[in-house]
Every structure is written in structure tokens, then in C-alpha cells.
Amino acid sequence: MRHILLGIFLVAALALPASAQPSALPFALTLASPLGSSWHKDEVRSGSTFGGVSVTGNIIGTSTKGTITLYAAGRLFLLGRYSCESGACNLNGAVAGKSVTPMRLAAGGWLSDTGNAVSAAFPTRGAWVAAVTEWANANLTGAQRAKFVSALKGDRIQTSVKMMPATPAGPKDKP
């Protein structure tokens, strides 16, 4: 009996994340102009990424408060309000269809165009990839999804979530 309990404990311990800290998601936003102290709308240009996902969109606000709207493959991917105080910037909203209230965006007292986002909604890199895959399945067409997933794989992101191939394999695919 003792060995069975020990085995269950070890399996449970190995299944838990190694760290209590959520996974950090790198972001790099290419902005049309730098964020400053005056309120304005700024374009997030092509070539920007959030957690390995290519995004475009806009930021309306200042370097310390405002709204971020990001699109992936033309579909809403991130929407939320950010505020910076006491040396941290937090986002309250949704990313990849998941609530992220709050998601820490920066350690400084202002929003930066590069950094790491951290949220308990994505405790591991695998949880992030699973959420993005679920979002892609719900929001993109087959061709878009195949391109999107291919880009994620190119970024060496792996997921345990199985997706249907863009074209079914069959006898015609054999050499």
C-alpha cells in the first residue's frame, strides 16, 4: 500500500510544473512612433510578435495607460487595457481567447515595445501553445490554420494538442 501511495505521489509531482511562476511570453511590437506622455493612437506594424505569434494592431494611449488591440491572421487575438504604476505594467483583458486579469507586461514604470508577458492563465509554455492552437482552431479557416500552425512549428513551439493536417494523407501522397 505504501508503494502505491508513493507511486501516485511521484506521478503527481512530476505532472506539476517545475516552477510556481508562470511562463514568460516574449513580445516585440514594431510601433509607428514611440509611446510617450501624450495620448495618441499608434500602429503596431507587421513584423511584430506576441508569444511567438505574428501580430498587427494598435495601441491607443500613453506609455503608462491605454488600450491594446492585436490581430493575428486578421482575427482579434489580444484586447485589453493596460496601466502602469508602482514599477509594473499590467494588462486586463483577453489573449488567445483566455482572460488574463492581470497579465504583467513590463517590470518598468512604462509600457515598452519589447519584453516578456506573464500570466497565470498560461502557467507553462505548453499551456500557451494549447491556448493558441485552440484559438486558431476556433478563429481561422483551414488554410489559415495550416499556415499559422506551420509558423508556430517554425518557431520550435511544440504542443500535445493534435490538429488535423491541412490536406489529408492518403495513397496519392506516397512516393
Q: pTM of the entire structure? A: 0.74
The residues facing 93 across adjacent strands are 80
Average pLDDT on 57-76 reads 95
Domain coordinates in residue numbering, the chain: 22-160
pLDDT, mean over the chain: 77
CA dist 51 and 113 (Å) reads 13
Confidence bin at 19 (pLDDT 50/70/90)? very low
Confidence bin at 73 (pLDDT 50/70/90)? very high
Query: Which tens digits make up the pLDDT trace of 84-140?
Result: 987 789 999 999 999 999 999 876 678 888 889 999 999 998 899 889 989 999 999
pLDDT reported for residue 87: 76
pLDDT reported for residue 15: 40
DSSP annotation of 31 reads: B
pLDDT reported for residue 155: 59
- Contacts with 27 (C-beta within 8 Å, 6 or more apart), sequence order: 48, 49, 50, 51, 105, 114, 115, 116, 117
Instruction: Go through 145-172 and write b for each residue having 16 or more CB atoms within 10 A of its CB, e for each that does not.
Output: bbebbeebeeeebebeeeeeeeeeeeee
CA dist 35 and 41 (Å) reads 9
